[in-house]
């Protein structure tokens, strides 16, 4: 599955405009390795640090980008969108959640 970046960036003289999501089924080993990398690179295994390392494991940007460099280049919108695709969450599901949230507050 391909994802076109909303905010393309340059890395080592190459323009990165899309990424290929290699896997959409996250395995336990992917999570463990991403958490281990996040802890060593970012000092935490939580939140965006974990997601960046997971995305870097499961996506191909056309060049090998260390997770720290990816954190500096990737927009938060693209991070969120790629993470949702990896986890199998789509816009329809988010709209469904938003609608049910509004109904439950009435």
- pLDDT tens string 4-62: 999 999 999 999 999 999 877 889 999 999 999 999 999 999 999 999 999 999 999 99
Q: What pLDDT does 89 receive? A: 79
C-alpha span between 9 and 57 (Å, rounded): 19
Q: What pLDDT does 23 receive? A: 78
Cross-strand pairs, 9: 16
pTM reported for the whole predicted model: 0.79
Q: What pLDDT does 86 receive? A: 87
Mean pLDDT of 66-95: 87
Q: What angle do CA 76, 82, 88 make, to 5 degrees?
A: 135
């Amino acid at each position: 599955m391909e994802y076109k970046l909303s905010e393309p960036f340059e890395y080592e003289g190459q323009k990165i405009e899309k990424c290929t999501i290699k896997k959409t089924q996250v395995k336990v080993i992917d999570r463990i390795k991403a958490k281990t990398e996040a802890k060593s690179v970012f000092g935490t295994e939580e939140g965006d640090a974990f997601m960046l390392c997971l995305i870097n494991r499961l996506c191909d940007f056309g060049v090998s980008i260390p997770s720290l460099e990816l954190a500096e280049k990737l927009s938060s919108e693209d991070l969120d969108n790629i993470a949702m695709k990896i986890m199998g969450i789509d816009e329809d599901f988010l709209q469904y959640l938003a609608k049910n949230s509004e109904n439950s507050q009435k």
